């Protein structure tokens, strides 16, 4: 019995040390993990070359470029920015400005590049942008804020993909803001996403971009574990356990898979084995379960000691 207790103590101590090492790694990268991340998805379809219906001085594309230049050039330097452009006569790489630190000169050059042409494959591009944000969030240990800003003047040519991907993105706690540029009716995402704004002239477009990017937080992923533990001591073990569960359960960073046509399975089709992604999800769940178990053990020990 003594040997078993010693072995259990050794296992718990090993797990606790692993948790402490993990915490130290996070603290050592503190400056990098708290960065905010914004991916702008700019519509460069053919209709963006049209002028505003109530203001014939600028095309919608000219106004969109001017608004993004004015606002993005002035956001905090620590913010990471990415610019995705769909369609466009001269766009050969969907990432006109890959998600990363703000370089104002390069960013403005990228914003000025697109020339309107083609259709509106919005569904494809919100998936690309969201997966890049999920990848970045994993690198930042789920700290920071993550958002997609969509600037578009028409309904998507792949509306089925938009309907399929949007809930998946929102369920992964990525914020979606949409600006409808001089649209006769509200965009299909108007009542689905976190915020929707209409921009019927160049001035309203600048104001909409400014208002959206002036908002802070909003994804709920930036958890300050250090301060949160100050509130544990006066709580009952049950409430403390629930609080730890919430603090240590990260949002899902699993990538959004490409939407495929539904295929009705044959009755004779054998059951498929789990995919590598599913096995990876199970492995991550096990790791987080161990971490939670260690934290709860420490809390239980402290509560027990204080009661003696």
Q: What is the CATH number of the domain that holds 35?
A: 3.40.50.410
Q: Say how many domains are in the chain.
A: 2
The H-assigned helical ranges of the chain are 2-28, 30-33, 60-72, 104-112, 122-139, 159-171, 202-214, 225-228, 237-248, 276-307
For residue 303, give both structure tokens.
Answer: 């509560």
pLDDT at 240 (0 to 100): 55
One domain for residues 195 and 240 = no
CB contact burial 51-79 (16+ within 10 A = b; e otherwise) = ebeeeeebbbbbbbbbbbbebbeebeeeb
Burial of residue 167, with CB atoms counted within 10 A of its CB: 0-12 exposed, 13-18 middle, 19 or more buried: exposed
Residues 251 and 174 in one domain: no
200 and 229 inside one domain: no
Q: Are residues 203 and 228 in the same domain?
A: no
In a domain, 121, yes or no: yes
* Residue 239 maps to a domain: yes
Domain containing 150 equals: 31-214
What is the spatial distance between Cα 42 and Cα 51, in angstroms, rounded to a whole number? Answer: 17
Q: Which two tokens stand for residue 132?
A: 């890049």
Rounded CA Rg of the chain: 24
Residues 171 and 307 in one domain: no
Claim to verify: residue 171 and residue 296 sit in the same structural domain: no
Q: Are residues 125 and 200 in the same domain?
A: yes
User: Per-residue pLDDT for the chain (308 aa), expressed as one digit of tens each?
Assistant: 544 444 455 555 555 555 555 555 544 455 678 899 999 999 999 999 999 998 888 999 999 999 999 999 889 988 999 999 999 899 888 999 999 999 999 999 999 999 999 999 999 999 999 999 999 999 999 999 999 999 999 999 999 999 999 999 999 999 999 999 999 999 999 999 999 999 999 999 999 999 998 874 444 444 444 443 443 345 556 655 555 565 556 678 888 888 776 655 555 555 454 454 555 555 556 656 667 776 676 676 666 566 65
> Is the CB of residue 159 less than 8 Å from the CB of residue 196?
no
Query: Is residue 267 a part of any domain in this protein?
Result: no
Report the pLDDT value the prediction gives residue 59, as an integer from 0 to 100: 96
- Please state, in angstroms and rounded to a whole number, the distance separating the CA atoms of residues 22 and 35: 19
Nearest to 100 by CA among 127, 132, 68: 132
Q: Which of 214, 231, 248 is the last residue of a domain?
A: 214
Residues 138 and 281 in one domain: no
For residue 243, what are its two tokens?
A: 């609080």
- Residue at 11 is within a domain: no
pLDDT of residue 11: 56
Q: At what angle do helices 276-307 and 2-28 cross, to 10 degrees?
A: 110
Map residue 177 onto helix, strand or coil.
strand
Domain co-membership, 187 together with 228? no
Do 172 and 69 lie in one domain? The reply is yes
Tell me, yes or no, whether 253 lies in a domain: yes
Residues 157 and 281 both lie in one domain: no
pTM of the model: 0.69
DSSP-based three-state secondary structure for 98:
strand
131 lies in the same domain as 109: yes
Q: How far apart are CA 292 and CA 299, in angstroms?
A: 11
Q: Is residue 9 part of a domain?
A: no
**Residue 274 — φ and ψ, nearest 5°?**
-65, 145
In a domain, 18, yes or no: no
> Is 62:152 a contact under the CB 8 Å cutoff?
no
Q: 147 in a domain, yes or no?
A: yes
């Amino acid at each position: 019995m003594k040997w078993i207790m010693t072995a259990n103590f050794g296992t718990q101590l090993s797990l606790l040390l692993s948790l402490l090492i993990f915490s130290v790694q996070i603290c050592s990268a503190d400056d990098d993990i708290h960065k905010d991340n914004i991916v702008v998805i700019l519509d460069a379809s053919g209709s963006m070359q049209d002028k505003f219906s109530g203001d014939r001085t600028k095309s919608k594309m000219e106004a969109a470029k001017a608004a993004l230049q004015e606002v993005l050039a002035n956001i905090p330097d620590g913010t990471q920015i990415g610019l995705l452009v769909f369609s466009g006569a001269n766009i050969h790489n969907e990432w006109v400005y890959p998600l990363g630190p703000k370089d104002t000169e390069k960013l403005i050059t990228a914003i000025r590049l697109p020339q309107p042409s083609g259709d509106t494959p919005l569904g494809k591009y919100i998936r690309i942008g969201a997966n890049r944000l999920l990848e970045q969030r994993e690198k930042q240990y789920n700290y920071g804020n993550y958002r997609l800003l969509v600037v578009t003047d028409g309904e998507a040519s792949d509306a089925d993909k938009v309907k399929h991907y949007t809930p998946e993105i929102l369920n992964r706690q990525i914020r979606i803001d949409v600006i409808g540029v001089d649209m006769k009716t509200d965009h299909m995402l108007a009542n689905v996403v976190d915020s929707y704004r209409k921009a019927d002239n160049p001035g309203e477009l600048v104001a909409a971009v400014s208002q959206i990017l002036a908002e802070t937080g909003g994804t709920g992923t930036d958890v300050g574990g250090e301060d949160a533990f100050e509130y544990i001591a006066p709580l009952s073990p049950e409430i403390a356990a629930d609080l730890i569960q919430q603090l240590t359960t990260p949002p899902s960073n699993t990538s959004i898979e490409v939407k495929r046509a539904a295929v009705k399975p044959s009755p004779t089709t054998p059951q498929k084995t789990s995919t590598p992604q599913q096995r990876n999800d199970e492995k991550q769940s096990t790791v987080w379960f161990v971490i939670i178990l260690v934290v709860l053990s420490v809390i239980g020990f402290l509560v027990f000691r204080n009661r003696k």
